[in-house]
């Protein structure tokens, strides 16, 4: 059977998508996409996405998928007429959840019918099978909705219904730092999950077929997410990445002749997660000893208000020429930093303050911050440009407007560098006033690094695979 024609272009959706792409570029440092071609450009598609970050998840997937995405969204959002109209124009389909209103659960038949109709028309539907957002770096136990939709569609198609074969595509979202501005995110599209092997069982025992396909979708989603078995393991993975990630990057550069920008930090984090999972299964005592050692070192850092980067820099012994060059760049950039900090302080700090006050849970933080930034930056920048226009005229106002985004990014990166410099100065002061404490920090880091290096070598030897 030939594939259905691609869904006609929608100017409203295209405009919303363009705006979302701009703000995602502004909010995230890097959005990496793996195998987006696995989401077909034509024909019915069901995207099964994990849900770690509320509205941000939909904006990200919609930004990288070329087609119009029809999301399943909680019916609670459709209670406000203006928002409901906007969501329907974007192609959203309401889903009635028990936790929102138990009395509306019987209306989910409407949702299934809408999904089947959209798929029969060759459209792309996106579902969050976990059912709700969560803060853990792993896929929660998914619900049966995705499998029920897929099997119902394919069963109807096999019996002579309209539509082409359905592609069920798992999608994994992995955030480097969920709350951080200018962090990294990975969007990974997996190979299609086969539905056909479950159709015969679906005719005889629909419940068992749905459960079997649900498990298959769960495994497919998990394989696309940088996750760990439990939250404690996730914390260990992050700690190892912080303490040893740079050494791994340097090793990859030396062994494979790569530039620093060519090393995928999210893939590196995934490899670290695989290694931790391996050692938990084969040598759990080693994992526990390593975790205790890392916790002790981090406690020393916290006690003296010093970052690991400062200790690592002291052990590396940066050349004097590099330190002088960095100091020169800092001096040159100081006026730009001061200017950028002054003109961008309010639109940067206000969304941060609002997200801290308004986010009811961790998964709401980035959404509140992004939405408030979308309002705050244009409002404050427009007000500032208007003031310059009134005071100095059109040309200075134009130059001022063009300087706002650039100076803001320079100020943000300068502030991060200033924080690193402050940590190094504190470590230098510690070495002068409490030499034994500084020596202990250096020694502890060397021990941790040595244990991590031995673990890396053992993991590579045991699995016969490269570390990234």
Q: pLDDT (tens digit, 9 = 90+) per residue, 384-409? A: 999 999 999 999 999 999 999 888 87
Task: Decide if pLDDT at 209 tops 90.
Answer: yes
Work out the average pLDDT over 222-231. Answer: 62
**What's the pLDDT at 228?**
44
For residue 147, the model assigns a pLDDT of 94
239 pLDDT more than 70: yes
Note the pTM of the prediction, 2 decimals: 0.66
Buried b (16+ CB within 10 A) or exposed e, 195-222: beebeebbeeeeeebbebbbebbbebbb
pLDDT of residue 104: 59
Tell me what the mean pLDDT of segment 351-365 comes to.
79
Q: Residue 220 and residue 214: Cα distance in Å, rounded? A: 10
HSE-up of residue 57 (Cα within 13 Å, Cβ side): 25
Instruction: Report, as an integer, the average pLDDT of 165-171.
Output: 93
Percent residues over pLDDT 70 in the chain: 81
pLDDT band at 322 (very low <50, low <70, confident <90, very high): low
99-121 pLDDT, tens per residue?
556 555 567 788 888 899 999 99
Residue 262 confidence class, pLDDT cut points 50, 70, 90: low
- Tell me what the mean pLDDT of segment 246-264 comes to: 69
Q: What is the pLDDT of residues 15-65, one digit of tens each?
A: 989 888 888 887 887 788 888 899 998 899 999 998 887 788 888 999 999
> Confidence band (pLDDT; 50, 70, 90) for 150?
very high
> Do the beta carbons of residue 23 and residue 374 sit within 8 Å?
yes
Q: What 8-state DSSP symbol labels residue 7?
A: P
pLDDT band of residue 216 (cuts 50, 70, 90) is very high
Q: Is the pLDDT of residue 379 over 50?
A: yes
CA 141, CA 143: separation in Å to the nearest integer?
7
Q: Spell 322-342 as b/e; 16+ CB within 10 A means b.
A: eeeeeeeeeeebeeebeebbe
Backbone φ and ψ for 280, nearest 5 degrees, come out as -65, -35
Please report the pLDDT score of residue 331 as a whole number: 63
């Amino acid at each position: 059977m030939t594939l259905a024609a691609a869904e006609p272009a929608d100017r409203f959706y295209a405009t919303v998508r363009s705006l979302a792409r701009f703000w995602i570029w502004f909010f995230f440092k890097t959005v990496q996409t793996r195998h987006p071609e696995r989401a077909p450009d034509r024909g019915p598609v069901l995207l099964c996405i994990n849900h770690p970050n509320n509205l941000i998840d939909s904006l990200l997937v919609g930004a990288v998928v070329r087609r119009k995405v029809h999301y399943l969204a909680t019916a609670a959002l459709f209670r406000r007429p203006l928002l409901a109209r906007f969501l329907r124009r974007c192609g959203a389909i309401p889903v009635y959840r028990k936790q929102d209103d138990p009395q509306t659960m019987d209306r989910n038949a409407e949702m299934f019918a809408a999904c089947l109709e959209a798929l029969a028309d060759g459209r792309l539907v996106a579902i969050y099978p976990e059912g709700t957002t969560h803060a853990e770096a792993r896929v929660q136990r998914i619900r049966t909705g995705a499998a029920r939709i897929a099997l119902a569609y394919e069963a109807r198609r096999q019996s002579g219904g309209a539509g082409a074969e359905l592609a069920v595509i798992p999608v994994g979202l992995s955030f480097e730092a969920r709350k951080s501005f200018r962090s990294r995110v990975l969007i990974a599209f997996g190979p299609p999950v086969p539905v056909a092997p479950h159709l015969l069982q679906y005719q005889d025992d629909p419940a068992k077929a749905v459960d079997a396909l649900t498990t298959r979708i769960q495994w497919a989603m998990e394989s696309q997410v940088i996750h760990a078995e439990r939250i404690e393991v996730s914390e260990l993975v992050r700690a190892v990445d912080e303490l040893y990630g740079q050494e791994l990057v340097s090793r990859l550069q030396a062994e494979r002749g790569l530039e620093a920008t060519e090393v995928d930090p999210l893939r590196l984090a995934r490899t670290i997660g695989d290694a931790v999972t391996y050692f938990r299964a084969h040598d759990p005592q080693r994992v526990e000893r390593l975790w205790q050692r890392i916790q002790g070192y981090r406690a020393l850092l916290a006690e003296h208000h010093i970052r690991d980067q400062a200790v690592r820099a002291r052990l590396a012994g940066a050349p004097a020429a590099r330190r002088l060059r960095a100091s020169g760049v800092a001096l040159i950039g100081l006026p730009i930093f001061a200017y950028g900090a002054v003109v961008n302080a309010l639109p940067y700090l206000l969304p941060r303050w609002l997200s801290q006050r308004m986010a009811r849970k961790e998964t709401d933080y980035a959404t509140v911050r992004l939405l408030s930034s979308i309002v705050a930056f244009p409002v404050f920048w427009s007000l500032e440009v208007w003031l310059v226009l009134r005071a100095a005229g059109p040309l200075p106002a134009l130059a001022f407007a063009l300087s706002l985004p650039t100076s803001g990014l320079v100020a943000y990166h300068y502030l991060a560098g200033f924080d690193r410099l402050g940590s190094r100065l504190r470590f230098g002061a510690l070495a002068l006033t409490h030499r034994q404490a500084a020596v202990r920090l250096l020694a502890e880091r060397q021990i941790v690094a040595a244990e991590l290096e031995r673990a890396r070598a053992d993991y590579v030897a045991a699995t016969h695979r490269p570390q990234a």
